Amino acid sequence: MNAMGFAWRSLVRQPARASLGVLGVAAVGALLFDMLLLSQGLVISMRGLLERTGFDVRVTATDAMPGSGPLIQNAFAHTQAIAKLPSVRSAIALRFAHAVVPNDTPRGLYTSFQGVAGTATHPWTILRGRDIGTGAEIVINENAAGQLHVEPGARLTLRAACADEEQALPPVEFTVAGIAQFPFDTPNGTTLATSLDRLADACGGNESGEADIIMVASQETAGPDAAVADVAALFPDLRVLSNAEEVNRFERGGFTYFRQISTVLTTVTLAFAVLLITVLLTVSINQRLGEIAALRALGFSRWRVVADVFCESVLIVGGGGLLSLPLGGMLALGLDQILKRIPGIPAEVHFFVYQPSALQIHVLLLAATSVIAALYPIRIVASLPIAATLRDEVVG
Amino acid sequence: MNGANGHIVEATHISRVFPMPAGPVTAVADVTLRIAPGDHIAIRGPSGCGKSTLLHMLGCVETPTSGTLLFTGNDVTKLSDRQRSLLRLRSIGFVFQRFYLLPMLTAAENVELPQSEANVSKAERRGRTKELLEYVGLASRADHRPSELSGGEMQRVAIARALANRPGLLLADEPTGELDRATGEQIAALLDRVNADGTAMVIVTHDPALAERSTRVLSMRDGRIENETASA
Ligand SMILES: Nc1ncnc2c1ncn2[C@@H]1O[C@H](COP(=O)(O)OP(=O)(O)O)[C@@H](O)[C@H]1O
Ligand SMILES: [Mg+2]
């Protein structure tokens, strides 16, 4: 019987101890796995979201998040100029505002309201009806359609809210052309969209050509970095970032908190796992010192009894580690649901995202756990005095 | 295989001193002893006189603090831990007062264990284990766990385990210490048979009846061999 088989039999002999160890590692492993998914999850899902919009370069006036900072002036003209650059396939300007639409409540429905202009396809997907044309038309998302009880073809009257100080703007009438899905929609958020011109009209007609962001799709042959360089050369006052640079900025900015929290929690949970297994192995070995000394007297090498202990640690951690994956997966789904209730989080953004490197690190950390946890009990069996132990067991 | 004069063990003026906080304790003092193949030796003496310590030195689990100890001609104090493990595995069998069978293994698996540690092939192990369990009269209990066996049966499995790798020397420390009189007799008879079949043995015992079955009886006191008597 080799060390692994021997360790297996030792575990089966004490099922309560083995279960305690395996379940403990499974719980710790699940947390560890979730921490690893969390540490990169938001960044990965942001990157995915940015890539799925079909644009790979983002132009804004300043470092502020789009919608909260100063506007790009002459955005329409700028967008046309950017679209003509050889490294650029298409470009589109977006402006984010708000609108109030009368509904069955006294205050009306307060909703996001965006305007777009440019050479690219609109950054939304039509679900029903059709896209906006040149007339006074809007597309709205499912939430807005549901709350306003409208379908394509209906007419909506709204008051835009465009500047910081809410001025009373005159109501404007639109036709609902279609129902659309917007990439950055939050689960309960309502969104309306029209052309940049129509939005400017609704905003009082004096802010034509201003936008929060110009989104650019680079030519496949040129790539985003070339497009970034060209746009930046053309408009040195604007802030031009590729998606990759934008994600890096996320990573360096607020999102490092997630990484720091998960590093601390990972260290703490792993320390608990090490302690748990060390204690379980040590207690079990102390109960078996006589047997181990007898095996040594019968000629078992020091390496062999050390291997037995190590294999036990590997089996406990391995079993718990396997269990921890489905457990951690389920836990991540639940936690993701909870975190996504934070207001303003786009429905497509996830906090816990699986990527192969998370699994690799998970396996590596658990493997290290099984080694470190076995060190102390291994020391006990490796330095066990054979004769004294056999004698103590009889005398004591 | 054996030493210069065909001895398995040649202990010359060996002592074992344990350094203790209250001063050194001399467990074995100046013992000279030769063990020849086929010897049947009993060691008697009051509790604490050094019997177990001497046995452990003869079995190469403990090394003398002075004197020379040759096992089949090799100086035991010069061997590494690994070499002494191998020596014990191949050439020495141990039987303990408390049996120390592994509770999670069956009787047969307990007997197989030292053989697999010695890299004996699976087929050979099977055959040898069956033969040994038959030898100790427990062929029908091969698949039983120690918890399903009586004390006497456990000790017989332990003797089979000690003989697994055909050692030239069998060492037993109070092998009947945990058994009732009748069962002790059976174990003594089995050990006689093992000796008659060619294995030298040293038995540490309190029990005069067991000691009298040996051809050489050593009486110890305060770490020394007081006298050696030869019986029938
Ligand atoms: N590992 C040890 N450390 C300290 N003293 C020991 C150790 N082993 C044995 N002794 C001492 O050596 C003496 C002989 O012990 P032992 O060989 O066990 O005697 P016996 O087997 O005859 O009862 C005792 O006084 C005992 O306390
Ligand atoms: Mg003793």
Q: In this structure, what token pair is assigned to residue B23?
A: 């001063």
| Ligand (nearest to CA of B43) | 1
Look at chain B and report how many structural domains it folds into: 1
What pLDDT is recorded for position A46? 83
Inter-helix orientation angle A289-297/A256-287, to 10°: 70
Which is nearest to B194 in space by CA: B155, B220, B151, B149? B155
- Lateral strand order in the sheet of B216-221: B92-95, B169-173, B200-204, B40-44, B216-221, B224-230
Which of B56, B98, B100 has its CB closest to that of A387? B56
Sequence-distant (6+) residues with CB within 8 A of A338 are none
> Which residue of B25, B51, B97 sits with most ligand 1 atoms within 8 Å of its CB, as the best mutation to test the pocket?
B25
ipTM, two decimals:
0.96
The pLDDT confidence band at residue A262, using thresholds 50, 70 and 90, is confident
| Residue A110: strand, helix, or coil | strand
Q: Per the domain annotation, does B137 fall within a domain? A: yes
Distance between CA atoms of A38 and A343, rounded to whole angstroms?
19
Judged by CB atoms closer than 8 Å, whether chains meet at A386 and B87 is answered as: no
| Residue A96: strand, helix, or coil | strand
Please indicate whether residue B53, judged by its CB atom, sits closer than 6 Å to ligand 1.
yes
Q: Per the domain annotation, does B1 fall within a domain? A: no
What pLDDT is recorded for position B2? 66
Which residues sit opposite A193 in a β-bridge? A114, A139
Quote the radius of gyration of chain B (alpha carbons, Å). 17
What pLDDT is recorded for position A207? 56
The distance of A375 to chain B (nearest Cα, Å) reads 20
CB A174 within 8 A of CB A211: no
Q: Per the domain annotation, does B200 fall within a domain? A: yes
Contacts of B174 in chain A (CB under 8 A): 394
Domain borders along chain A are: 3-50+254-395, 62-235
| Residue A40: strand, helix, or coil | helix
- Lateral strand order in the sheet of B66-71: B25-35, B9-18, B66-71, B74-75
**DSSP annotation of A211:** B
Which range is least confidently modeled, A76-80, A246-250, A266-270, B41-45?
Answer: A246-250
- Full-model pTM: 0.81
Distance between CA atoms of B150 and A311, rounded to whole angstroms?
31
Question: Per residue of chain B (232 residues), what is the pLDDT tens digit?
Answer: 566 678 999 999 999 999 999 999 999 999 999 999 999 999 999 999 999 999 999 999 999 999 999 999 999 999 999 999 999 999 999 999 999 999 999 999 999 999 999 999 999 999 999 999 999 999 999 999 999 999 999 999 999 999 999 999 999 999 999 999 999 999 999 999 999 999 999 999 988 889 999 999 999 999 999 999 987 5
The distance of A10 to chain B (nearest Cα, Å) reads 7
Judged by CB atoms closer than 8 Å, whether chains meet at B114 and A394 is answered as: no
Sequence-distant (6+) residues with CB within 8 A of B21 are none
**Quick one: what percent of chain A has pLDDT higher than 70?**
96
The distance of B97 to chain A (nearest Cα, Å) reads 8
Please indicate whether residue B136, judged by its CB atom, sits closer than 6 Å to ligand 1.
no
CATH number at B221 reads: 3.40.50.300
- What A353-356 contacts at long range (C-beta under 8 Å, 24+ apart), as own/partner pairs, is A353/A37, A353/A40, A353/A41, A353/A42, A353/A44, A353/A45, A354/A37, A354/A329, A355/A40, A355/A44
CB A160 within 8 A of CB A99: yes
Minimum CA–CA partner of A290 in chain B: B100
> Cβ of B93 under 8 Å from any chain A Cβ?
yes
Judged by CB atoms closer than 8 Å, whether chains meet at B103 and A302 is answered as: no
DSSP A130-185: ----SSSEEEE-HHHHHHHT--TT-EEEEEEE-SSS---PPPEEEEEEEEEE-TT-
Q: In this structure, what token pair is assigned to residue A36?
A: 């690893």
| Boundaries of domain holding B184 | 9-230
Residue nearest to atom 20 of ligand 1 (CA): B48
User: φ, ψ for residue A214 (rounded to 5)?
Assistant: -115, 120
Q: Letter for the amino acid at B225? A: I
Quick: pLDDT tens for B66-109.
999 999 999 999 999 999 999 999 999 999 999 999 999 999 99
The atom number, within ligand 1, closest to the CA of B173 reads 21
Please indicate whether residue B25, judged by its CB atom, sits closer than 6 Å to ligand 1.
yes
| Ligand (nearest to CA of B177) | 2
Q: In this structure, what token pair is assigned to residue A272?
A: 């608990």
Sequence-distant (6+) residues with CB within 8 A of A140 are A148, A150, A156, A176, A179, A180, A190, A191, A192, A193
Which is nearest to A313 in space by CA: A361, A367, A381, A380? A367
Minimum CA–CA partner of A382 in chain B: B81
Mean pLDDT on A167-188: 87
Minimum CA–CA partner of A7 in chain B: B104
Q: Per the domain annotation, does B3 fall within a domain? A: no
Distance between CA atoms of B95 and B103, rounded to whole angstroms?
16
Residues 193..232 of B with a Cβ closer than 8 Å to A: which? Answer: none
Helix, strand, coil distribution of chain B in percent, nearest 5: 35, 25, 35
Judged by CB atoms closer than 8 Å, whether chains meet at B82 and A297 is answered as: no
Contacts of A301 in chain B (CB under 8 A): 82, 85-86, 117
Judged by CB atoms closer than 8 Å, whether chains meet at A10 and B96 is answered as: no
